[in-house]
Amino acid sequence: MRVVIAGGGIGGLTAALALHQRGIDVQVYESVRRLEPLGVGINILPFSMAVLRDLGLLDRLLELGLSNGELRFYNRHGQLVWAETRGADAGYGTPQLSIHRGRLQMVLLDAVVERLGADAVRTGCGLQGFESGDRSVRIELADRASGGTVHDEADLLIGADGIHSFTRARLNPGEGDPLWEGSLVWRGTTVAPSFLSGRTMIMAGHIPHKFIAYPITAPDAEGRQLINWIAVLDWRAQGLPAREDWTRQGRYKDFLPRFEGWRFEWLDVPALIAGADAFYEFPLVDRDPLPRWTHGRVTLLGDAAHPMYPVGSNGASQAIIDAVTLADALADGGDTGIDAALAHYESVRRPATAAIVAANRQQGAERILDLAEERAPDGFTSIDDVFAPGELQSIADSYKQLIGLQKPADPREL
């Protein structure tokens, strides 16, 4: 069996490694000329870390990132609303990883090149056409270097080509641009002194005036860490900026003044923002779930299949689960069972991810913050005056259940 993957992002590269591990021949085509460590921080949930562990990457990732130990929600006055342990600290068999997105992508790329060979990822080759027959798919790519066209043929084409997926657009003509929720998001990284436990992720405020921060490296000799941060503001009055672009630089004047008063004893938010090397802006977008992912011998994976709001650390985590689910199904079915494998993959992953897209539109467990603001806009004396007994736990648990983050009875299962 030969599989072609369009897109060398986290989803596409994980799929390449998982397929190769199961003895399946893979070729990746990536449209950019050179894969570089772009982006800022990203968070990978324990069940997805188990996949990366099984691909032999856990130690390397922990060297480059940080095992997240705690999640805390605060209102915009800096009062603690909810706290829970995370990852290995919460009893999962694998950690929850906070890491620079580009570093994670480079670890995956290095592993693909080492295991599959340097030619397994062909950069500068963007998918621009395909035609699926009953048993194979013909693929056409634009070769940036020569300005010419590259042709390939495979048993299966996986479109892992991100939120602006060509594959998805070709299969769903007329779908149009991603849907904008009305918020603008600024993401940056700052080297700053550790805050709280040094392994804590915080979310403060509420939609649409929110701040998220978490460290993505271990402390250096001076106790400083690279801290990833995200600021969210309502941007409806200003209107949707041009098509979202992860490399578009933001401007302090657009958002820093709105966080000026957020100097808490546990974190000085304006100082963190002001210390950034660089930060990027993009609108908060997703897409409606599709009625199907697979058309003949073409299917979708990751953001191409289910772009979702960046809530609950699910974007890359779910792409990784897509990759291993598809690889397992194809390996189980063998050359004769490809269509059944695709049907199985879609029957498992499409409803699961559609439910997360919907839950993330309601802010997932971060809904706790919106409720706190709604019920106690001026703050509270005791959180017990704001939430009924067990209410916070129940919101947090039901979102975990939905995304597949139930704690196994035996942590070694993860």
Ligand X SMILES: Cc1cc2nc3c(=O)[nH]c(=O)nc-3n(C[C@H](O)[C@H](O)[C@H](O)COP(=O)(O)OP(=O)(O)OC[C@H]3O[C@@H](n4cnc5c(N)ncnc54)[C@H](O)[C@@H]3O)c2cc1C
Q: Binder to ligand X among 47, 92, 130, 166 (CB under 6 A)?
A: 166
From residue 23, give the alpha-carbon distance in Å to each of 65, 157, 185, 321: 30, 17, 41, 19
For residue 303, state whether it binds ligand X (rule: CB under 6 A). Answer: yes
Q: Binder to ligand X among 3, 40, 99, 137 (CB under 6 A)?
A: 40
For residue 30, state whether it binds ligand X (rule: CB under 6 A). Answer: yes
Say how far apart CA 224 and CA 372 lie, in whole Å: 32
For residue 178, state whether it binds ligand X (rule: CB under 6 A). Answer: no
Closest CB to ligand X among 118 and 388? 118
Q: Binder to ligand X among 246, 337, 407, 408 (CB under 6 A)?
A: 246
Q: How many residues bind ligand X (CB under 6 A)?
A: 31
Task: Please identify, among the stretches 23-31, 76-84, 114-122, 209-217, the one whose residues bind ligand X according to the rule CB under 6 A.
Answer: 23-31
- Smallest gap from residue 167 Cβ to ligand X (A): 7
- Smallest gap from residue 379 Cβ to ligand X (A): 30
Task: Please identify, among the stretches 25-33, 75-83, 254-262, 377-385, the one whose residues bind ligand X according to the rule CB under 6 A.
Answer: 25-33
Task: Please identify, among the stretches 47-55, 178-186, 303-311, 363-371, the one whose residues bind ligand X according to the rule CB under 6 A.
Answer: 303-311
Task: Please identify, among the stretches 18-26, 217-225, 313-321, 375-383, the one whose residues bind ligand X according to the rule CB under 6 A.
Answer: 313-321
Task: Please identify, among the stretches 1-9, 203-211, 327-335, 364-372, the one whose residues bind ligand X according to the rule CB under 6 A.
Answer: 1-9
Say how far apart CA 148 and CA 141 lie, in whole Å: 9
For residue 152, state whether it binds ligand X (rule: CB under 6 A). Answer: no
For residue 31, state whether it binds ligand X (rule: CB under 6 A). Answer: yes
Of 337-396, which residues contact ligand X (CB under 6 A)? none
Closest CB to ligand X among 301 and 396? 301
For residue 203, state whether it binds ligand X (rule: CB under 6 A). Answer: no
Q: Binder to ligand X among 188, 289, 315, 333 (CB under 6 A)?
A: 315
- Smallest gap from residue 400 Cβ to ligand X (A): 19
Of 112-141, which residues contact ligand X (CB under 6 A)? 126-127
Say how far apart CA 92 and CA 268 lie, in whole Å: 31
Closest CB to ligand X among 69 and 307? 307
Q: Binder to ligand X among 1, 3, 7, 231 (CB under 6 A)?
A: 7
Q: Binder to ligand X among 1, 3, 4, 8 (CB under 6 A)?
A: 8
- Smallest gap from residue 215 Cβ to ligand X (A): 15
Output the 3-class SS for the chain.
Answer: CEEEEECCCHHHHHHHHHHHHCCCEEEEEECCCCCCCCCCEEEECHHHHHHHHHCCCHHHHHHHCEEECEEEEECCCCCEEEEEECHHHHCCCCCEEEEEHHHHHHHHHHHHHHHHCHHHEEECEEEEEEEECCCCEEEEEEECCCCCEEEEEECEEEECCCCCCHHHHHHCCCCCCCEEEEEEEEEEEEEEECCCCCCEEEEEEECCEEEEEEECCCCCCCCEEEEEEEEEEECCCCCCCCCCCCCCECCHHHHHHHHCCCECCCCEHHHHHHCCCEEEEEEEEECCCCCCCCECCEEECHHHCCCCCCCCCCHHHHHHHHHHHHHHHHHHHCHHHHHHHHHHHHHHHHHHHHHHHHHHHCCHHHHHHHHHHHHCCCCCCCHHHCCCCCHHHHHHHHHHHHHCCCCCCCHHHC
Interacting residues toward ligand X by CB under 6 A? 6-12, 29-32, 38-40, 42, 101, 126-127, 160-162, 166, 187, 246, 302-304, 310, 315-316, 319
